[in-house]
Amino acid sequence: MVTTAFIRAADPPTMRVVFVTHNELGLACLEELVDLGADVRAVYTRPEREELADQTDLAAFASEHEVSLHRVESVNTDSVKAEIREDDPELLFVVGWSRLVDGEVLDLPSVAALGMHPAPLPRGRGRAPLAWSIVKGLDETALSFFHLVEAADAGDLVGQEPLPIDREDDAASLYADMVEAGRALIRRHYPEFEAGEIPREPQDDSRATWWPRRDPHHGLIDWTAGPREVYDWIRGQTRPYPGAFSYLDDRKVTVWAANPPEDEPAFVAPGEITYRDGDALGVGAWEGVIELTEVQVGEDDPIPAGALLDDHGFEVGDTFENARDRLE
């Protein structure tokens, strides 16, 4: 539980805000700030990049609210720092930016530089926290709102919003919950800043853990894991992320969705297509079966898993490649 220490700050009728983001969480926070009367002076976002899985276009927001929009690769350059300085922000938000911001930028706002991170800090500092939360089978995570410092995710906490993880949740549904949690945190805490109160609670560094970066090639499925582990692996890396994948007859198959597995043992070979049930395909895992429901072959359109047999010539008995063979 975050406690609140209050420190007197400037007391303007509204606060001057500069916002740095490229994702839906940032957009949601911007919408809440505008609704609460914040004076959003400028938004900085990334140029369009295919590799940014959760990139959101902010042009419509900027146009509707007459906010200047800047597309930059970094906010650490002298020119961007000068632009931010001209807007004289009291609050600087950096949300969903996935790049560290240097100390000179963090010193630009007169009141606070703030960020959000979808993990229960101090646990889960680092990268890909939503994916890791599901891949590791957690039943709850959180969205942390905190003061930015040069060290990643290490600043004092403003507040946290819990994010329960149901067995049917995947990356997309948890991402949507995270966005709503961001709205709740802004509604709860921005008025405190506006009133001249700065909530902060130091993190306990002795409890900090680090979650590493995930790249698309890390999505390779190990069918020798248990059905629950394979299920968590698939749902943790589905949209908006690049997806878990395997290979059939040397053709890449991305697995976008699967059914929650039953806790029943089965005599099966890992990776073998063991049966078809309508649009679902049962595939062997360690001492059990995982039912795939949505897949994609190469760059084709996503299809129901059962269509692998109808549209691509595969058969019951064919076997997905062993992950160790691919890695070797």
Predicted TM-score of the model (pTM): 0.90
What are the start-end ranges of the H helices in the chain? 24-35, 59-64, 78-87, 103-106, 129-135, 171-194, 227-236, 307-312, 323-327
pLDDT at 220: 96
HSE, side-chain direction, 13 A CA sphere, residue 167: 6
Query: What distance in Å separates the CA atoms of residue 296 and residue 314, rounded to the nearest whole number?
Result: 13
Query: What distance in Å separates the CA atoms of residue 242 and residue 223, rounded to the nearest whole number?
Result: 19
| Cα 227 versus chain centre, distance | 24
Nearest 5°: the CA angle 271, 212, 256 is 35
> For residues 299 and 245, is the Cβ–Cβ distance under 8 A?
no
What b-and-e string marks burial along 82-120, b requiring 16 or more CB atoms within 10 Å of the CB?
ebbeebebbbbbbbbbeeebeeebbebbebbbbbbbbbb
Q: Which residues pair with 246 in a beta bridge?
A: 253
Torsion angle of C-alpha atoms 1, 3, 127, 101, degrees rounded to 10: 170
> For residues 192 and 159, is the Cβ–Cβ distance under 8 A?
no
Q: Which two tokens stand for residue 324?
A: 């160790």
Q: At 33, is the secondary structure helix, strand, or coil?
A: helix
Sign of the torsion formed by the C-alpha atoms of 220, 126, 136 and 93: negative
Q: Which residue has the tokens 């991305």?
A: 254
| Cα 13 versus chain centre, distance | 34
Long-range contacts of 322-328 (CB under 8 A, 24+ apart): 322/223, 322/224, 322/270, 322/271, 323/220, 323/221, 323/222, 323/223, 323/224, 323/246, 324/222, 326/220, 326/247, 327/220
Query: What distance in Å separates the CA atoms of residue 138 and residue 142, rounded to the nearest whole number?
Result: 11
Q: What is the pLDDT along the chain (328 residues), one digit of tens a residue?
A: 444 443 444 444 589 999 999 999 999 999 999 999 999 999 999 998 766 668 899 999 999 999 999 999 999 999 999 999 999 999 999 999 978 899 999 999 999 999 999 999 999 999 999 999 999 999 999 999 999 999 999 999 999 999 999 999 999 999 999 999 999 999 999 999 999 999 999 999 999 999 998 888 889 999 999 999 999 999 999 999 999 999 999 999 999 999 999 988 999 999 999 999 999 999 999 999 999 999 999 999 999 999 999 999 999 999 999 988 887 6
Q: Is 252 exposed, middle or buried (0-12, 13-18, 19+ CB in 10 A)?
A: middle
Angle between helices 24-35 and 171-194 (to 10 degrees): 30
> For residues 165 and 156, is the Cβ–Cβ distance under 8 A?
no
